[in-house]
């Protein structure tokens, strides 16, 4: 199984222009490859604050951790005060040690103290991935707690409602719009799911699409609009033009992931997770408002569950192949809901959720095990094998009028 598959538990894509930053040649301060010839020389004048010195040490450890795949070393300076961020950082580390990524270097561009226990460091990160060079800058927030400086992640601005927290990059102009969309998604899903989002649910807005990937899933070969994982925040790119009408569906898609993955305890395969997120999320405002669903045709969804399960979304697929995967997942879930009822669809998720939470981090057989769980729950709830369900589904497609799917 391709190693990328383990990252692809739940995704949305509205797809796919991979852009690379052009490499800029400057002095690299701390590097993993090639090995350092001398002690890193980060602004080593005597004026250094203890904060700067601490950050130099943290970044050196960080590179060592990536080079030696030392999870504990990496996570030792990640705060546990925010479970979403902690989980996201596990995934970030897992991505950064992926074989797709090499030649990582980190440089401190500046530091500033917000108060004596809080500082912001602007980092310049360079690395190679998919034969491209990346060169990015981002501000990281650090807080001094329990005797040491701890990483709090990207230094976002914050807006809090009584339902959720929105974090956004400085200069973001669309906060109110996205707050309204997430509020609407909460309302819409309230009538569909008994389980509610977590109280401290978070949405992170990025107007820089490359930054979203780099701070979220850097080993992913394509850029994306939104991303959700179990007990992580909803992360979304806000820079599509105003005419782009897909955002409310994307936000709701991601919120469906948050809820449905918690119901099944992360025990179901990608096609079921994406299928329900497309069905209860993306399609809610109409197929025509989703760039993926508006590409739906009989030919593009005439695939079996076995075909979906043998497709690795992390491999080098075309945009068309990815859209077909999502649309077929959507249609199979729609078939289950329209034929057996939405309650029965939910029973599949609740049945899978009887198993303990299935952690994907550093779990090579994650997707394989979830496919097996899907075998079991489809048999116990629908009394069908996947092959039988696929057969029923393909026959159902013959009965549909694809010009008026609604
Ligand atoms: Zn998704």
Distance 350 CA to ligand 1 centre (A): 19
Distance 10 CA to ligand 1 centre (A): 5
Distance 244 CA to ligand 1 centre (A): 18
Same-fold call for 3-15+157-404 versus 30-154: no
Measured in whole angstroms, the distance separating CA 258 from the mean position of its chain's CA atoms is: 11
Beta-carbon count within 10 A of 23 CB: 12
Q: Is the pTM of this model over 0.75?
A: yes
Distance 278 CA to ligand 1 centre (A): 7
CATH class of 30-154: alpha beta
Ion ligand 1 nearby residues (CB, 5 A): 11-12, 274, 277
Amino acid 130: pLDDT: 86
Distance 57 CA to ligand 1 centre (A): 37
Amino acid 230: pLDDT: 82
Distance 254 CA to ligand 1 centre (A): 6
Beta-carbon count within 10 A of 34 CB: 7
Q: Which residue has the tokens 């369900």?
A: 389
Q: Which residues of the chain have pLDDT under 70?
A: 1-49
Amino acid 3: pLDDT: 41
Distance 120 CA to ligand 1 centre (A): 32
Amino acid 373: pLDDT: 98
In the chain, where the domains are located = 3-15+157-404, 30-154
Distance 325 CA to ligand 1 centre (A): 11
Distance 266 CA to ligand 1 centre (A): 13
Distance 354 CA to ligand 1 centre (A): 22
Distance 80 CA to ligand 1 centre (A): 26
Amino acid 321: pLDDT: 95
Distance 227 CA to ligand 1 centre (A): 7
Rg of the chain over CA atoms, in angstroms?
22
- Are 325 and 237 in contact by the 8 Å Cβ rule? The answer is no
Amino acid 49: pLDDT: 62
CATH class of 3-15+157-404: mainly alpha
Distance 373 CA to ligand 1 centre (A): 19
Q: Which residue has the tokens 């002095």?
A: 27
Is 49 exposed, middle or buried (CB count within 10 Å of its CB: 0-12, 13-18, 19+)? exposed
Amino acid 306: pLDDT: 97
């Amino acid at each position: 199984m391709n190693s990328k598959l383990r990252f692809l538990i739940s995704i949305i894509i509205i797809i796919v222009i991979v852009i690379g930053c052009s490499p800029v040649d400057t002095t690299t301060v701390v590097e993993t490859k090639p090995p350092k010839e001398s002690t890193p020389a980060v602004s080593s004048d005597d004026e250094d604050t203890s904060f700067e010195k601490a950050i130099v040490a943290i970044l050196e450890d960080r590179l060592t951790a990536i080079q030696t795949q030392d999870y504990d070393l990496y996570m030792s300076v990640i705060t546990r005060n925010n479970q979403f961020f902690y989980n996201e950082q596990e995934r970030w580390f897992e991505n950064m040690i992926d074989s797709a990524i090499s030649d990582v270097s980190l440089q401190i561009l500046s530091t500033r103290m917000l108060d004596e226990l809080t500082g912001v460091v602007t980092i310049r990160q360079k690395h190679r991935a998919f034969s491209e060079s990346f060169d990015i800058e981002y501000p990281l927030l650090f807080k001094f707690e329990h005797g040491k400086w701890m990483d709090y992640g990207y230094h976002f601005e914050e807006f809090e409602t009584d339902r959720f927290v929105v974090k956004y990059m400085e200069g973001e102009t669309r906060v109110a719009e996205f707050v309204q969309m997430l509020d609407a998604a909460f309302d819409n899903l309230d009538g569909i799911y008994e389980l509610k989002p977590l109280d401290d649910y978070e949405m992170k807005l990025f107007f820089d699409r490359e930054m979203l990937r780099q701070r979220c899933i850097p080993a992913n070969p394509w850029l994306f609009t939104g991303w959700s994982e179990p007990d992580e925040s909803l992360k979304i790119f806000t820079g599509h033009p105003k005419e782009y009408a897909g955002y409310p569906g994307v936000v709701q898609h991601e919120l469906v992931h948050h809820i449905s993955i918690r119901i099944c305890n992360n025990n179901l395969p990608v096609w079921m997770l994406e299928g329900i997120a497309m069905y209860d999320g993306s399609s809610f405002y109409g197929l025509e408002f989703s760039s993926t669903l508006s590409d739906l045709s009989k030919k593009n969804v005439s695939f079996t569950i076995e075909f979906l399960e043998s497709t690795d979304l992390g491999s080098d697929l075309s945009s068309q192949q990815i859209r077909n995967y999502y649309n077929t997942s959507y249609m199979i879930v729609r078939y289950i809901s329209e034929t057996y009822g939405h309650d029965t669809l939910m029973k599949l998720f609740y049945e899978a959720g009887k198993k303990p939470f299935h952690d994907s981090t550093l779990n090579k057989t994650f997707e394989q095990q979830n496919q097996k769980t899907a075998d079991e729950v489809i048999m116990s709830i629908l009394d069908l094998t996947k092959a039988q369900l696929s057969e029923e589904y393909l026959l159902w497609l013959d009965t549909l009028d694809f010009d008026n799917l609604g």
